[in-house]
Amino acid sequence: MKKILIFFSVLSVIFWLVLLHEKKTSQEIEEKWTRINKNPVVKVFNDMINNATLADREKVANADKLLYNLCHYKAV
């Protein structure tokens, strides 16, 4: 019985350590994104994306597909 109690105690400590690490990691990621989004170039780009019409977004998607196909084209 004592071994089971020790096992679950150790398991709970490991669980809490993992949770603390995940929280710290998510905070670091959020801070990095905040810094990135404050960049003026990124702001302009985000505004362009947010203000784009559906047709513009479709053009970008089609251009993306074309570029992907050109880059991955393999001659037989």
Written in H, E and C, the secondary structure of 18-68 is HHHHHHHHHHHHHHHHHHHHHCHHHHHHHHHHHHCCHHHHHHHHHHHHHHH
In this prediction, residue 36 has a pLDDT band, given cuts at 50, 70 and 90, of confident
**Mean pLDDT value across the chain:** 75
Note down the domain range covering 19. Answer: 2-71
Residue 76 in any domain: the answer is no
Domain count, the chain: 1
Contact 56, 47 (CB under 8 A): no
In this prediction, residue 69 has a pLDDT band, given cuts at 50, 70 and 90, of confident
Residue 50 in any domain: the answer is yes
Q: Which two tokens stand for residue 24?
A: 């710290």
CA-nearest of 33, 35, 15 to 23 is 15
Residue 19 in any domain: the answer is yes
The C-alpha angle 50, 64, 62, rounded to 5 degrees, equals 85
